[in-house]
A and B are shown apart, each in its own frame.
Chain A
Amino acid sequence: MTESETMKTTRQASDCKKGTGTFCYAKESQSPFCLLSSFCLALFFALSGLAAADETRPAAAVPSFRSDVMPIFFRAGCNAGTCHGSARGKDGFMLSLFGYDPKGDYERVVTDITGRRVNTALPEESLLLLKSIGGVSHTGGKLFELDSEYYKTLHRWIAAGAPDDSVMPPEVVGISLPKQSVVFKKIGAYGTARVTATYSDGTSRDVTKLARFFSNNASVATIDKDGVVAAAGPGDTNVFARYSRFTVGAEVVVLPADEGFAWPNPPTNNFIDTLVFDRLQKLRIIPSDLCDDETFLRRVTLDLVARPPTVEEYQAFMADTAKDKRAKKIDELLATDDFADYQAALWGERLRVMGGNYSPDATVIKAANQYAKWIKTQFRTDRPLNEFVADMVRASGSNISNGPVNLYTMLVHKPRVEPKPLAADFSQLFLGVQIQCAECHNHPFDRWTMNDYYGFVSFFTGMQRKPGVEPREKRIFWDEKAAAAVNPVDGQRKPAKVLDAVEPVGGEGDPRAALAAWLTSPDNKLFATNLANRIWAQLLGRGVIDPVDDIRVSNPPVNTPLMDALAKRLVELKFDLRGLVRDICNSRVYQLSTQPTPSNAGDTRQFSHAHLRKLRADVLLDSVVTVTGVPRQMPDWPPGTRAIDYYPRSSGGTEGPDTGDPFFATFGRSTRGTICACETKDNPTLSQAMHLNVGDTVRDRLASGGVIKKLIETKSTPEDMLDELFIRTLCRRPTTEEMTGLRKMVGKNAKDPAVYEDILWSLLNATEFNFNH
């Protein structure tokens, strides 16, 4: 829906929800009920394009178990995990979760407790009905009324002998809402979401009364059990309908009051600005101003090369008067090995690179080293991301001499390859999709089925390890004799099949080549979206889809055009990481100030201003080292190792979480215990503050490196000295107030290192230093 399609609406007569409209809006001025009803109906026809005549699926004389009865179980919540859909059922009655096993459900409903749960002689005496209407004690309480359609349908089915489907009814192949976006201009406005299911025989059916609904943010918009959407507060969110195995959503925007709103029409640098500003304008949010040069320099240096700018870099940048000096700086940083190394560190964390000394895990230090080295080489040589991933996916051979094959040793740290966990982590990492939810039942909040899951698992059922030529080595290979994974519901093997596909990949032998080809194809929107979103999240602090590794229908992008454009751009760039980073960093959106405007202060989703981002643990440690000039001796690593090059090493196995150096545990570096992006913590803690205050990281570096003493020798005045310390630490000169106060503190001790060490200590403990802003 476009802006022009929005209306001033407010919540009106409740009967509107009885209408047949989809996103049926009640106009504020229409008070008479009849007028309202007819308007809603008319509006529905106008907006949805789905008239009643479009419901082409005729009602059967005898309800179908799969098409009519099971949807009632779903709608009433009978087969939810908290009720009879739990693994052991509830109160002696079990249904498959969300109805993934119709055959089994039929047996359990009809043949268990014969004559009681379903009584075909006296249908109304059936426990199934009595419990549903609260006629007898029911832990789940009353679910619907005696005169409801749900009751009537179940009664008719039981009265007809509770038959199983003699012929398999057409399958639901999709559901839809007529609009993907709705805008409310006023709190209290409402409308009804109508859900239409389409079937494998081409028919369609209004299933609004059989669907379930939920909202992602009830403080913006609510949706009730009948699909009535109500505006609760300004902002944007999504509401969803689920029916059968499908979930569909629609964006809901609730506009703030428009008094005094005037879009400032800020300049745009590239497509990112256009799409973000479009969104902001729509939401009546005014973006912040551009950040200053000092802030930009520090921000982009920390983001791209994982350290603060040096004094020399600061002076050169500030002295540059070229209009495109920011773009030049971005290019300069992108061209460094440090950029590649930092990206390698981020990927090393995602890929769970850890080194041990327990041979059966195959994650010995040498293997980890080879893997880390290979990853770094890919980024240093500007390898396209799709090729980088494809190399790992296809890899076979030695864990200690063929780096990329360690995808199959590191992703899941176990003595043998375990296909299910591997498939789950693979999907989460490379697609952002948590496919594992479909292991026991069709994905409840996405479109993936158990067949999708087991077909995907079959890409890995042949992955094997065998001993190599020395104790540390394992040879990773695809065993051609391996069988495909079995879907436990039907007991059938599901040959390797990519997500979204209908047919298996086919062919003989190792299917991973086909997997790699599909995964990294420019046509695979899931892959490009996942990568682009992760790149964006690293630079902006939050994904367009967030969290980045839980992409699903029910967790859509906060700005779909932006997400699509970023993914498309990555494909256009042939998966060139530096290219997309260049675009993002050159955008005005990236360069916005953290200082909010009145209208964007509450915005945390739409990138209207920069947000304070706590430095990653490794970046913080390298920043301290850069400022003080004193390296950190990492346990089990050679002197001079940077934090971003460090991965945990141990003398045992690597199956458990490990951050290695205790500094990383304190400052939230990923434990690499799982594939989850949430392993990296960005919340400040008291122990972090205490560590920087009194721990050895800052304390031992103030004097030992002699930085202060060297500066004293080269700086002629205390002012120069203070300037240097501020630039070195915070990438800015001290304010007049700061300079005055600190100069007073220095007093006559202009050559006393102790006073400057205190000042440096203060700067390193400042929030300004610990955050990117």
Chain B
Amino acid sequence: MKTSRLARLLAVMAACWLAAASPAAAQGLLKHVERVTPRIGQRGTTVEVTIQGTWLQEPREVIFSRPGIKAEGIEPLPKLPNMIGLAHGGRIEEQVKCRFVIAPDCPPGEHLFRLRTADQLSTLATFHVTPFPVVNETGQPHYTIATALSVVPNVTVCRNHGGSAHFLKVPAVAGARLSAEVDAVRLSDVHYGGGEYDLALRVLDANGRELAANDDNPLHLQDSLVSLKLPADLQGDSVFIEVSPSVPGGIGVTYCLHIGSFSRPLAAYPAGGPAGKPLAVKLLGDPLGDVDQTIPVPEAVGTFPFSSDGPSPLLLRSSPFPNVLEDAAAAETRVAVLPAAANGLLDKPGDVDTFRLSVKKGDRLRVRVYAATLGSSLDPAIRIRPVAADGTPGPIEIEADDADPMLVDREIFGPNFRSRGGLKDVFDPSFVWEPKADGDYLLEVRDMSGFGGPTGVYRVEIETPPDRVYVQLATGGNSDWVEATRYMGLAVPQGNRWTVNVNLPQGQGNSYRGGLQIVAEGLPPGVKLVSPPVPPGQSRWPVQLVADATAKPGGAAISFAVQATDPGKKIESGCQQWVPFINHSGGDAWRAVRTDRPIMAVTDSAPIAIDLVPPTIPLVRGGELAIPVKLTRRAGYDEPVEFQVEFVPQGVSQSPSEVIPSGATEATLRITAEQNAALGSGPLFIRATTLPQGSGELGCGRVMVSSEIITITVADPFVELASQPESIRRGAKGQFTFAVTHKTPFEGQATAKLLGLPKGVSLIEPLPVITKESKEIVFTIEATDEALLGAVSGLGCELMLKVAGQEIRQRAGNGTLRIDPRL
């Protein structure tokens, strides 16, 4: 209780602080778009939309990640008179209005977009589409059945729940189907939130008798849904739908409730089929009974949505191999040929399905279950055991439950949940199996806790692992892994460059170990991708988008992929980006929005450009290299500019960000190589950013450009130095000598400096110089009575030389000096 009070007190204090804070002081987790109103629109209609947040001046375009909605009439609204402070430093102070023209065939559900302004590409925002007319309810609350809001299906009703239950009155006929689905968590557009988005549904008759209820469900998790056949003894001609927070109280958030007679299947069996072919499925869970239907499976392999007449789809699989359906009447089902997808239903508690398959020792098979991933109620587990010579099951060879949460290529990757949870996909096992023997094996599918039921659908895809490498925009190191626009955004100023780093996660069971080339698809005219070939073993790499001076400002949904540099080798690839929308303190994100088509934009030309002078000499191990930085300013732009290295080869470290002061155009980038830095060449680039007042941690408000990607080479040091322990007496002069072994010849002279001398011992000039012929470096030193008696170690030598006009420093040696008393 004390904790609760303290937390509330702190929350109040934090809120007060936020309200009082000036924009310039608000260095929090700032997003461009913090609120989109309304949250939903009916397809085939045009909706007036307000977009609110920060740094939205000069709005130009709304770019969606998929077709279906076009934005028009974009114009700024007056700045809000008072800034609205949000959690974690977010704020609303500007707004934009526009019209979303929603096509009649627009897919229902979530649509992602970014707003392009003159010089910004906003953080990700969402808008939802419903097949039904929308009622935005803002009137008095409807707290009781007696005051319930009357609505006519099919309809989508939106309102803020205010922490309390609300009632809707719906005409009803006994025996008819009534479905209701909540969008709340999926509708959220906040950075930080929690249980206020978690709603429950109940359907009551006029006497308050509960006819159906739902809170959480495997399909939509916290967003509840009910679909029922109204009972024959229904009292009256109406029923009442109660929408209430799962945990009453708390703050109110907006939800939308879809009410209608639409079918609401909870699963399809089988949960997928061969790509490009029609698939006969049974839709399960509808209150009027299961429905047989044939649906087209897309050519593209992967998970695809199947929508009926409801507001949200089911997810199914398209696979490049045939289906095998469980023979429920048999003890086991034969999988005649591999690869294949074994499909079944754990339809009762404790059910275990068994498939028999023939394999050979040396086969390499990836076994992947799709159940929870697709919205099934199961938490599946797999056992594989050989069939003994006498036909009995042998010992378990493989037992698998959950998949590694960090496993990337299960069509989800990128979300870096802290506790390695938060994704239902993780419940589905996935592993590479190398059978220990030739012969028949039994593959058993069961639920971890013995659950089973009429919608307990699963699908086990068994195939030789294809070579897959994916592209994932690398996030920054922010807490709560919010979208880091500074790092992930793809805004390229006209006539300029922008570079981001990508991760290259490997598919499970990958065997390809060669080089890669990153490519992009869908780039607008005048934009090209520059990315050096990726050497083997690299898991992170820079990709650069370059907009030429003629590229028109505008946006596009693009995608990245990799190709094998090994000619003729086919690599499956794709890209994906995850953006968390509701973070939860101390835990994982509640909701993360996924897109496999990142949005990029060419913005108006930037006031700055940044360039590096590519070094013509290598960076030696243990050495430092100074690289000139050239800043080009648009005429009249004299503001300070920050620059920072964003990618360096392994073992190379960079200095922290630096600021080029007002009016200055030159700076020096210093990079150093560790003694064990990998030898060879690698890319390096820096980004430069303007520093407008009030810009946020994520880069909102900043114009960012990058240098070209240059190549630096890490080489062996010029010399290696060795020394014998030396001694010197107080009050005396002496020498300290390093023996020189030349590793990389250099021209000219190098000045040497002795480092690490203790107090009371000084270096007497002139400093020694060496050439490529020198065998030793001799320093003259002098000790006073201040020098403490005894030995000191760690004496080093710094060489300074100029090669091809560039200054190089190398540090080497590790000497020991003993200070003795006066005679």
Contacts and interface: CB of A to CB of B under 8 A. Distances in A.
A and B interact: yes
Interface of A: 355, 357-360, 364-366, 369-370, 396-398, 400-401, 466-473, 475, 477-478, 510, 635-638, 648-653, 658-660, 662
Interface string B237-255: 0000000001111000000
Which of A398, A650, A659 lies at the interface centre, i.e. has the most chain B CB atoms within 10 A of its CB?
Answer: A650
Interface string B741-780: 0000000000000000000000000000000000000000
A400 B588 CA distance: 16
A454 B423 CA distance: 36
B4 A649 contact: yes
B492 to A, nearest CB: 36
Contacts of B642: none
Interface in B1-24: 1, 3-4, 7-8
Contacts of A638: 163-164, 248-249
10 closest A-B pairs by beta carbon, nearest first, are A467-B421, A471-B587, A396-B449, A652-B3, A651-B7, A359-B587, A471-B584, A638-B248, A650-B4, A469-B424
Nearest to B249: A638
Contact of A466 (B215, B421, B584): B421
Nearest to B247: A365
Contacts of B8: 651
A475 B590 contact: no
A396 B8 CA distance: 34
B448 A477 contact: yes
A470 B221 contact: yes
Contacts of A478: 449
Interface in B237-277: 246-249
Nearest to A653: B3
B391 interface: no
Nearest to A661: B1
Given A397-B451, A398-B216, A470 B3 contact: no
23 contacts: A359-B587, A364-B195, A365-B195, A365-B247, A366-B195, A467-B417, A467-B588, A468-B421, A469-B421, A469-B422, A469-B427, A471-B419, A471-B586, A475-B449, A477-B379, A477-B448, A477-B449, A637-B249, A649-B4, A651-B7, A651-B8, A652-B4, A662-B1
Contact of B221 (A369, A469, A660): A469
Nearest to B587: A471
Interface string B162-197: 011000000000000000000000000000001100
B246 A470 contact: no
Nearest to A469: B424
Interface in B533-589: 584, 586-589
Nearest to A396: B449
Given A400-B216, A469-B221, A471-B588, A636 B422 contact: no
Given A398-B216, A636-B249, A652 B420 contact: no
Given A467-B421, A652-B4, A653-B3, A366 B449 contact: no
Contacts of B449: 396-397, 475, 477-478
B450 interface: yes
Given A468-B421, A638-B248, A648 B216 contact: no
B416 to A, nearest CB: 13
B353 interface: no
Nearest to A664: B1
Given A470-B422, A638-B249, A659 B1 contact: yes
A472 B164 contact: no
B216 A651 contact: no
A635 B421 contact: no
Interface size class of B (residues with CB under 8 A): 35 or more
B472 interface: no
B402 interface: yes
Contacts of B603: none
A652 B215 CA distance: 24
B587 A366 contact: no
Given A369-B247, A472-B195, 7 more contacts: A355-B247, A359-B584, A397-B449, A400-B216, A470-B588, A471-B419, A472-B584
A635 B247 contact: no
A470 B7 contact: no
A470 B215 contact: no
Contacts of B249: 636-638
Given A359-B586, A396-B450, A475-B379, A650 B421 contact: no
B475 interface: no
A399 to B, nearest CB: 11
Contacts of B164: 638
A31 to B, nearest CB: 70
Contacts of A365: 195, 247
Contacts of B419: 359-360, 467, 471
Interface string B349-378: 000000000000000000000001000000
Contact of B3 (A467, A471, A650): A650
A618 to B, nearest CB: 16
A471 B379 contact: no
B198 interface: yes
Contact of A369 (B246, B417, B420, B589): B246
A257 B215 CA distance: 67
Contacts of A396: 448-451
Between A355, A365, A468, A471, the greatest number of chain B beta carbons within 10 A of the residue's beta carbon is seen for A471
Contacts of A401: 215-216
A360 B417 CA distance: 14
A369 B590 CA distance: 19
A767 B219 CA distance: 56
B781 to A, nearest CB: 59
B107 to A, nearest CB: 24
A649 B449 CA distance: 29
A651 B421 contact: no
Contacts of A398: 216
B222 interface: yes
A398 B216 CA distance: 10
Given A466-B421, A469-B424, A651-B4, A358 B247 contact: no
B90 to A, nearest CB: 20
B315 to A, nearest CB: 15
Contact of B422 (A360, A471, A650): A471
Contacts of B405: 467
A637 B7 CA distance: 16
Contacts of A649: 4
B580 to A, nearest CB: 11
Nearest to A475: B379
A278 B772 CA distance: 115
A648 B3 contact: no
A636 B584 contact: no
B222, B417, B587 — most chain A CB neighbours (10 Å) = B587
A469 B412 CA distance: 14
B351 to A, nearest CB: 14
A660 B590 CA distance: 27
Interface string B428-456: 00000000000000000000111100000
| From B4, B402, B419, residue with most partner A Cβ within 10 Å | B4
Contacts of B195: 364-366, 472
Residue with the greatest number of chain A CB neighbours at <10 A, chosen from B215, B248, B421: B421
A652 B8 CA distance: 11
Nearest to B449: A396
Contacts of A369: 246-247
B499 to A, nearest CB: 34
B3 A366 contact: no
B392 to A, nearest CB: 16
B47 to A, nearest CB: 30
Nearest to B164: A638
Nearest to A395: B449
Contact of B590 (A471, A636, A652, A662): A471
A397 B452 CA distance: 12
A473 B426 CA distance: 14
A467 B4 contact: no
Contacts of A366: 195, 198, 246-247
Interface string B219-234: 0011000000000000
